[in-house]
């Protein structure tokens, strides 16, 4: 007599499958490590806006968490959600600082421009026909700018509310140079130069496994499996409570109330003129064109669409800015940072979004008290690697002419603005192409036409 066992959930039950965009392309620890690769830019800007402009931290965390999860699901890449840096810089540096309605108006203005460029196909046209040296110049300038800021974070004390450097950082202390340098060495040893290690041949014979090259590969594979950036970030959170244990008493559980932000005509005028106009060229060049090009470099065959990225930025801000959330975009620096530390799929930023949502719902605005004690030196270390990874994307220039255009564009962008650097780069590129025109051929063809005309008459 045979007996059969009936499955408790029936024959038709199948384990739910994750969307293809969320399937891990590497280990879970690497994806978690990549999730925090962009926090070197995110935390300082959010903290500064919270301190100076009274940004509601709960609102920003909730909306950026939703942005993270949706973009991870749609793009299938560790597509970052970063603050609009130019708007943030203007909002903080103005005297008096911009108000939340003015910041929201600026974000909505930029969103409208990018949404229009994306829907009409103009952004795709720009991306298709923009010379590569100009894109690389913008990437190089942004990467070096991140790296220079990172060195300042590591070397000098920072006043986040004024975005200014103070006296040199002491060697000792919970935010001293020794802590930052130790984190720097740890990341170098565990992640190397950021190049993917070749897979280890597990089928190798006994003698081959004792080969020095094989042992080195095995060691590199073990090191690359360490979630280095995540460890550094969690270590930084631990130092927050060690630096000021009294903050535990200041923590209040539960999110703050989310409400619509009233925006007057005066807010629209100030936000657009002072903050949106400087942000628009930076968003077009770095948040759309550069990030799409970088996605193709890092993920061959999975290049993000310029139209989709542009529309995505527009929709994110159309939703969140009305409630006072920080204006955001997709940045090439954030993508470089998350890739640098192991992010390879949309799951990476989905994990980040889930963490932000939990923090917003549990701690609310009081989480800003924790961020205020986070060691700036450790943020500088994370930002340094993100900047270097972005700058290294410009190493594929094949001729001196291309390198010349790229470097001039980068230099002007760093000393003036991305818009001016782009304009100078375009003029320089056209002048170099003009030199290559064969005027003699044009002259001969013109003479030939004149002879044919005279013979016909």
**pLDDT tens string 266-297:** 999 999 999 999 999 999 999 999 999 999 99
Q: What is the pLDDT of residue 332?
A: 94
Mean pLDDT of the chain, nearest integer: 88
217: pLDDT confidence band, cut at 50, 70 and 90? Answer: confident
Task: Reply yes or no on whether the pLDDT at 439 is more than 90.
Answer: no
> What is the pLDDT averaged over residues 411-425?
93
Task: Reply yes or no on whether the pLDDT at 14 is more than 90.
Answer: no
Task: Reply yes or no on whether the pLDDT at 364 is more than 70.
Answer: yes
Look at 55-59, 200-204, 364-368, 434-438 and tell me which has the smallest mean pLDDT: 200-204
Q: What is the pLDDT of residue 161?
A: 82
Q: What is the pLDDT of residue 445?
A: 53
> What is the pLDDT averaged over residues 412-423?
92
> What is the pLDDT averaged over residues 382-402?
92
pLDDT in tens, 146-165: 999 999 999 999 988 888 89
pLDDT in tens, 87-139: 999 999 888 999 999 999 999 999 999 999 999 999 999 999 999 999 999 99
What is the percent of the chain where pLDDT is above 90? 73
Look at 2-6, 234-238, 333-337, 396-400 and tell me which has the smallest mean pLDDT: 2-6
193: pLDDT confidence band, cut at 50, 70 and 90? Answer: confident
- Is pLDDT larger for residue 351 or for residue 27? 351
Look at 74-83, 130-139, 190-199, 314-323 and tell me which has the smallest mean pLDDT: 190-199
Q: What is the pLDDT of residue 1?
A: 47
Contact 53, 162 (CB under 8 A): no
Q: What is the pLDDT of residue 450?
A: 55
Other CB atoms closer than 10 Å to residue 438's CB: what's the count?
8
Look at 20-34, 47-61, 326-340, 403-417 and tell me which has the smallest mean pLDDT: 20-34
Task: Reply yes or no on whether the pLDDT at 202 is more than 80.
Answer: no
Q: What is the pLDDT of residue 179?
A: 96
Q: What is the pLDDT of residue 200?
A: 44
Q: What is the pLDDT of residue 251?
A: 87
Task: Reply yes or no on whether the pLDDT at 395 is more than 50.
Answer: yes
């Amino acid at each position: 007599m045979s007996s059969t066992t009936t499955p408790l959930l029936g024959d038709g039950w199948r384990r739910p499958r994750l969307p293809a965009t969320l399937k891990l392309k590497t280990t879970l620890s690497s994806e978690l490590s990549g999730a925090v690769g962009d926090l070197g830019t995110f935390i300082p800007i959010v903290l500064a806006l919270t301190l100076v402009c009274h940004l509601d931290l709960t609102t920003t965390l909730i909306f950026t968490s939703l942005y993270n999860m949706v973009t991870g699901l749609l793009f299938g890449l560790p597509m970052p959600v970063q603050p609009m840096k130019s708007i943030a810089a203007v909002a903080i540096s103005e005297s008096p600082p911009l108000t939340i309605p003015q910041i929201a108006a600026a974000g909505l203005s930029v969103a409208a421009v990018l949404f229009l460029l994306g829907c009409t196909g103009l952004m795709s046209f720009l991306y298709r026909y923009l010379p590569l040296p100009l894109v690389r110049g913008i990437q190089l300038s942004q990467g070096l700018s991140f790296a220079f800021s990172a060195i300042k974070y590591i070397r000098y004390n920072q006043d986040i509310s004024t975005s200014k450097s103070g006296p040199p950082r002491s060697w000792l202390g919970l935010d001293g140079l020794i802590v930052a340098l130790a984190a720097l060495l740890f990341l170098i040893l565990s992640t190397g130069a950021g190049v993917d290690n070749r897979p280890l041949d597990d089928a190798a014979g006994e003698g081959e496994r004792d080969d020095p090259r094989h042992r080195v590969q095995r060691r590199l594979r073990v090191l690359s499996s360490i979630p280095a950036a995540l460890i550094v970030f969690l270590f930084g959170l631990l130092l927050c409570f060690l630096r000021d244990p009294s903050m535990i008493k200041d923590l209040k559980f539960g999110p703050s109330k989310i409400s619509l932000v009233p925006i007057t005509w005066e807010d629209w005028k100030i936000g657009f003129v002072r903050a949106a106009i400087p942000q628009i060229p930076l968003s077009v060049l770095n948040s759309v064109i550069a990030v799409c090009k970088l996605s193709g470099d890092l993920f061959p065959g999975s290049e993000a669409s310029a139209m989709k990225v542009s529309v995505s930025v527009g929709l994110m801000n159309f939703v969140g800015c009305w409630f006072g959330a920080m204006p955001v975009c997709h940045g090439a620096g954030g993508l470089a940072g998350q890739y640098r530390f192991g992010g390879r799929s949309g799951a990476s930023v989905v994990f980040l979004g889930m963490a932000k949502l939990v923090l917003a719902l549990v701690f609310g605005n009081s989480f800003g008290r924790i961020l205020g004690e986070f060691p700036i030196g450790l943020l500088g270390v994370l930002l340094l690697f993100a900047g270097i990874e972005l700058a290294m994307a410009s190493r594929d220039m094949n001729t001196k002419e291309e390198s010349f255009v790229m470097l001039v564009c980068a230099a002007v962008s760093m000393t003036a603005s991305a818009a001016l650097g782009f304009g100078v780069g375009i003029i320089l590129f056209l002048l170099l192409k003009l030199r290559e025109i064969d005027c003699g051929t044009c002259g001969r063809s013109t003479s030939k036409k004149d002879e044919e005309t005279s013979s016909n008459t």
